[in-house]
Amino acid sequence: MKKLCLLVFIACLISLPAKAAEYPTEETVRFVLNCMSNLGAQNDENLYTCICRYDTIRAALSYSDYEEGVTYERNKAMPGEKGSFFRDNKRGEGFYETLLEIREKANASCPIVKRVRVDRSAAK
């Protein structure tokens, strides 16, 4: 687990161009770890896929726009009067729809890579 966290940290540092300074490191790590969890495991293949997806989203949205879309997504199903604040928020809904489109693009352009292993016993 320590090795994986170190790999995530190093990959985040390597893949951060100048614009990425506006995305907090905490959000970067949270996104990548949640993505790997959703893909089923914290391994190198999922790490590369999730970093690619994160970079695609980061390149298309500023952090404030991303944050508004994620906040709308997280709170739109909240019941009652408190939830109506989010459900009636057209601006948040617009950012959420944009975020969904960018996620679809990221998922399509960043396939899950599987490691190919050669069976050396069969080659002999």
CA distance 82 to 88: 11
> So what's the pLDDT on residue 105?
95
pLDDT value of residue 124:
58
pLDDT of residue 92: 87
Task: Note the pLDDT tens digit of each residue in 93-122.
Answer: 899 999 999 999 999 999 887 766 667 776
Q: Which residue has the tokens 């695609």?
A: 56
Instruction: Report the predicted TM-score, pTM, of the whole model to 2 decimal places.
Output: 0.70
pLDDT (0 to 100) of residue 12: 61
Q: Per residue in 44-64, pLDDT tens?
A: 889 999 999 999 999 999 999
Helices (H), the chain: 2-14, 25-39, 44-60, 63-75, 80-87, 90-109, 120-123
pLDDT digits (tens, 9 = 90+) for 11-48: 665 655 544 448 999 999 999 999 999 999 999 889 99
User: Where do the domains of the chain lie?
Assistant: 2-11+24-112
